[in-house]
Structure 1
Amino acid sequence: MKNVNDIWEKDGYILRPAKKEDAENYYQQNYNPLDPEVARLTGCKPLFTHDEVVNFFLSCIDDEDRYDFLIISPNGSIIGESVINEIDWELRSANFRIGIFHSDICGKGIGSWATRMTCGFAFEKLHLHRLELDVFSFNPRAEKAYLKAGFKREGVLRDAVKDGDNYADDILMAILEDEWKAMQQ
């Protein structure tokens, strides 16, 4: 089912499937260098080599158990991604993650919009039953956006991550297909 042609547009922003030819721009526009605040909020390391990013990106395109969508700004730059990964087709369950790569773009509703579109794709096209994620307690803006999108808190892994010298919680959240459908009415 990997052949996806869905494209969504809002206020000049586009959400579309990632393509192999995006790999170089994906690296240059987002990881050269990675915004330190984005690295902090997502829990990833602050520096990546060109080959690490490009090779991982290309491997994602061919992976049958994930769908990677890119968020494109009105000027054509890749500014983020919205991903369904770790799909368990038997359980009809998957992980969801989203990243806006530039902290100055956050707070404009683009991530919330991309989350809604990606959830719609997960439940309506892939016919998933469950979409789950985790968010760090030091990222309350993201947790609020997930709650608004219909995700519910399912648990907390206390002091499971570090934020600098301090421990923080890893909050587990999920949305089920019936909850998604109810929100659409």
Structure 2
Amino acid sequence: MMKTTWQKDGFTIRLAKANDVDDYYLQNYCPLDKEVARLTGCKEEFTKEEVTSFFLKAIKETDRYFFLILDPAGKIIGESVINEIDWDLRRANFRICIFHPAARGKGIGSWAVEVNRDFAFDQLQLHRLELDVFSFNPRAEKAYLRAGFKREGVLRDAVLDQGRYADDILMAILEDDWRRLKNGE
């Protein structure tokens, strides 16, 4: 049986469920933290209908694992997603977001990256897990590097950040990289 729930220091990562939709919207999009919009490249405001529609569609997709990150009180503070899964090539994209400033910088995101990385290779049997991170988010890039992701390329001046161009950094980890990491090599 596939493990889809993890706990550490009172925090929980688990698959999103349909009955989470209202809390997901109310706890994270009313309003959406401006830094979240900046670091993820999304717009700053979403309607309840947009969020609800996306959420309910996302949890049903067969090429996506949509995890919620909950604090010890059960509040949704983030999400981590393995998506765009290509089962033939055994590859997928990864993204993560910690919605609340008070939850950032505590290692929760790094833990979620490691949990999802291990889930991707151990349980989904993927060969490649990839992501991109903006150059103005060095904290996230460091977390990915610590988790074994490697830089594969840079899309120079590919995004705008507060009126200035910035790079989009492409990163990935392969199953052999992961095995070496898990074996302490």
Q: Distance in 2 between matches of 1:30 and 1:127?
A: 32
Secondary structure of 1:104's aligned partner: helix
After TM superposition, the structure 1 = structure 2 runs for residues 66-145 of structure 1, keeping only pairs within 5 Å, are 66-145=64-143
Say whether residues 1:31 and 2:9 are aligned partners.
no
Secondary structure of 1:47's aligned partner: coil
Equivalence for 1:22: 20
TM-score, with normalisation over the residues of structure 2?
Answer: 0.97
Say whether residues 1:42 and 2:40 are aligned partners.
yes
After TM superposition, the structure 1 = structure 2 runs for residues 155-174 of structure 1, keeping only pairs within 5 Å, are 155-174=153-172
1:145-182, Cα deviation, whole Å (9 max, x unpaired): 00000000000000000001100000000000111111
Structure 1 portions without partners, runs of 5+ = none
Secondary structure of 1:40's aligned partner: helix
Moved over 3 A (4+): none
| Match among 42, 51, 67 for residue 53 of structure 1 | 51
Secondary structure of 2:74's aligned partner: coil
Q: Distance in 1 between matches of 2:2 and 2:96?
A: 18
Secondary structure of 1:8's aligned partner: strand
What RMSD, in angstroms, separates the aligned Cα atoms of the two structures? 1.0
Q: What percent identity do the matched residue pairs reach?
A: 67
1:14-39, Cα deviation, whole Å (9 max, x unpaired): 00011011011000000111000111
Superposition deviation, residue 4 in structure 1: 5.3
Superposition deviation, residue 105 in structure 1: 1.2
1:24-56, Cα deviation, whole Å (9 max, x unpaired): 100000011100011101111000000100110
1:162 touches 1:168 (CA, 8 Å); kept in 2?
A: yes
Superposition deviation, residue 81 in structure 1: 0.5
